[in-house]
Amino acid sequence: MLLIPCAIAALVLPPAPPVDRVVIVSVDGLRADALEGSSLGQLPAFGRLLQGPHTLNARCDPDISVTLPNHVGMVTGRMMLGPSGHAYELNTLPLAPAAGGLVRPSPSRYIASCFDVAHDAGLSTAAIASKLKFTLFAQTWGDEYGAADADPRGGDNGRNKIDTFTFAPDMPRVTDAVIDALDTLDAPDTPDTPDTRPDDATRGLVFAHYALPDSVGHTTGWTTEPNQPWMASVKAVDDELGRLLTAIDTDPKLNGRTAIVLTADHGGGVPFGTHTDQDALVNYRIPFIVWVDGTEHSCDLYATNSGVRADPGVDRATTHERVTAPIRNTDAGNAALQLLGLEPVPGSVYGGESLPLTVTPPATPPAVTSPAPVAPRAGS
User: CB 214 → Zn ion: shortest distance, Å?
Assistant: 4
Provide the 10 A C-beta neighbour count for residue 108: 6
Q: Which of residues 19-38 bind Zn ion (CB under 5 A)?
A: none
3-state class (DSSP) for residue 258: strand
Q: Does 265 bind Zn ion (CB under 5 A)?
A: no
3-state class (DSSP) for residue 86: coil
User: CB 94 → Zn ion: shortest distance, Å?
Assistant: 17
Question: x/- string (CB under 5 A) for Zn ion, residues 212-231?
Answer: --x-----------------
Amino acid, single-letter form, for residue 352: G
User: CB 210 → Zn ion: shortest distance, Å?
Assistant: 13
**How many Å apart are CA 205 and CA 182, to the nearest integer?**
9
Closest CA to 336 of 304, 363, 360: 360
Return the number of the residue (176 or 214) whose C-beta is nearest Zn ion: 214
Q: Which of residues 107-166 bind Zn ion (CB under 5 A)?
A: none
Return the number of the residue (91 or 354) whose C-beta is nearest Zn ion: 91
Q: Residue 224 in contact with residue 43, Cβ under 8 Å?
A: no
Q: Which of residues 47-76 bind Zn ion (CB under 5 A)?
A: none
Residue nearest to Zn ion (CB): 214
Q: Residue 160 in contact with residue 189, Cβ under 8 Å?
A: yes
User: CB 217 → Zn ion: shortest distance, Å?
Assistant: 7
User: CB 27 → Zn ion: shortest distance, Å?
Assistant: 12
Question: x/- string (CB under 5 A) for Zn ion, residues 330-349?
Answer: --------------------
User: CB 228 → Zn ion: shortest distance, Å?
Assistant: 17
Return the number of the residue (163 or 214) whose C-beta is nearest Zn ion: 214
**How many Å apart are CA 226 and CA 230, to the nearest integer?**
9
Q: Residue 146 in contact with residue 116, Cβ under 8 Å?
A: yes
Q: Which of residues 186-215 bind Zn ion (CB under 5 A)?
A: 214
Instruction: Give Cα separations from 69 to 60, 85, 150, 276, 361 (angstroms).
Output: 10, 10, 25, 12, 29
How many residues contact Zn ion, by CB under 5 A?
1
User: CB 345 → Zn ion: shortest distance, Å?
Assistant: 26
Return the number of the residue (64 or 128) whose C-beta is nearest Zn ion: 64
Peptide bond into 361 cis (omega under 30): no
Closest CA to 217 of 264, 273, 287: 273
What residues line the site for Zn ion (CB under 5 A)?
214
